[in-house]
Structure 1
Amino acid sequence: MLWVSEHGGTHMDAPSHVDPGGKTVDQVSLERLMGTAVVIDLSLSAHLDPDTQLQIPDITGWEAWNGQIQDNSILAVNTGWGRYWPNATRILGTPNHSDPSAFHYPGVHPNAASWLVENRPQVVAIAVDTPSVDFGQNKNYSVHRIFAKAGVPVFQNVANLDQLPPSGCKILAIPMKIEGGSGAPLRIFAILHEHREKQRDHFHLTTDLRYCHSASADISAGSQFLPDKRCLSVAVSICFFIFTQGLITCMGVN
């Protein structure tokens, strides 16, 4: 028997995770699992303050440089936290891994979440490189609830967001299709423009796959750290896609 954590490593939170009436993993539409990437860089702020949260001006500031968020977009928040994987103490901001009240890591502010839902419904999903879309000190999961109520899935512990440009690439997320699941292990990819291919001839894949020549890089997280030690989370390599146009970056960590 294989026990798999729905919420370990790089994973998707379905709306039903915090909303009893929300869609489960197998009910989330494919339209919410693929879209144009909107990558907002909070890495400097997060480096100075681990309790940094994405604010409305961060979103409107991105739009001032890149234009209004397009239809079918996935908003990804790069806090730089991916570089700490798999050091649980650095990721959680405390050596006390079993005490959520001591957690310190970046996230999305509830006001920004509400603003996105009300003013940018074209955002179909949210991706973060931290354990939760709520920052570490938010104990009522208000941001989870805001997105869940709007039917917006959340991708967490996403890796290599620092390798993506602010705009101009596509994200595809492939969760394990668990019937009735509130979450699922996630394989997530970014398709980059061809001109990026020559900047680097390979990206690091999941550790069991070593390297892949200029085709893909894994950006899904594994499960070395889980607050719930009773669960064993297994990163499953489902399949590879070869695209004749562009470069694929897999967005998970092992």
Structure 2
Amino acid sequence: MKIIDLSVPLYTGMPVFPGDPEVRVAVVQTYETHAWELRQLILGSHTGTHVDAFSHMHAGLETLDEIPLERFFGRARVVDPRQPDWPRDRGLLFIDEVGIEAAGKIIGLNPGFVGGNLTEELERALLGERIITYTDLIHLDRLPKETDFMFFGVPLKIKGGDGSPVRAFAILEDESPGISLKETP
């Protein structure tokens, strides 16, 4: 089994979307003063690698704590938006930017989630159809093409949350007994 980390690190002063809160990570307790370390995190709910709840762009739709946990992981595949054939019934992670013109095609493929370089208009359309979106994924180029893998991007359970940073990662299948991502008949 091989794990590929798809998340950007969080740190003070990291780039954020214009108008979002600046990120601050501060050590507030140390080993020397308290016998442990503790950090204070100040950041927006859409900081770094993050997931968007349906409520992020649609009033009245489900918030993070209302979306079942199993919606935040599953079989996925890297997709080149320039290729004509995309897989059905699995998460789609796009390496290159994909815009609103792909919305109908994506929705028709019934993905549980979509991630990568998505335009704001596409995110809005997908969230409106209750398709979870992930932003700021990295290392997608390290994932196999035309092969399924398991994707995980689980948010904090924020009551009423519109989004949350995640530790996103992919688990690649190997030849070990008992590890298989292939569909069973």
TM-score by length of 2: 0.67
Deviation at 1:179, TM superposition (A): 0.9
SS at match of 1:175: coil
Following the alignment from structure 1 to structure 2, what is the Cα–Cα distance between the partners of residues 28 and 113?
Answer: 22
Which residue of 1 is the match for residue 109 of structure 2? 120
Which consecutive residues of structure 2, in runs of 5 or more, have no partner in the other structure? 1-39, 181-185
The one-letter amino acid of 2:163's match is G
Q: Does 1:78 align with 2:95?
A: yes
Identity %: 29
Q: Does 1:170 align with 2:158?
A: no
Which residue of 2 is the match for residue 111 of structure 1? 101
For residues 104-134 of structure 1, the C-alpha deviation after alignment (integer angstroms, 9 at most, x for no partner) is xxx32212112221x212x000111x4xx20
Which residue of 2 is the match for residue 90 of structure 1? none
Structure 2 counterparts to residues 1-254 of structure 1, below 5 A? 2-41=41-80, 54=81, 58=83, 60-61=84-85, 63=86, 68-69=87-88, 71=89, 73-79=90-96, 107-117=97-107, 119-121=108-110, 123-128=111-116, 130=117, 133-134=118-119, 141-166=120-145, 167-195=147-175, 245=179
Q: Please state which structure has a larger fraction of its residues in strand.
A: 2
Following the alignment from structure 1 to structure 2, what is the Cα–Cα distance between the partners of residues 109 and 185?
Answer: 23
8 Å CA contact retained: 2:95, 2:141: yes
SS at match of 1:155: strand
8 Å CA contact retained: 1:37, 1:169: yes
Deviation at 1:4, TM superposition (A): 2.8
Following the alignment from structure 2 to structure 1, what is the Cα–Cα distance between the partners of residues 48 and 131?
Answer: 20
Which consecutive residues of structure 1, in runs of 5 or more, have no partner in the other structure? 42-53, 80-106, 135-140, 198-243, 247-254
The one-letter amino acid of 1:157's match is D
8 Å CA contact retained: 1:173, 1:188: yes
Pairwise CA RMSD: 2.1
The one-letter amino acid of 2:105's match is W
8 Å CA contact retained: 1:22, 1:148: no
Matched pairs, number: 139
Deviation at 1:245, TM superposition (A): 4.1
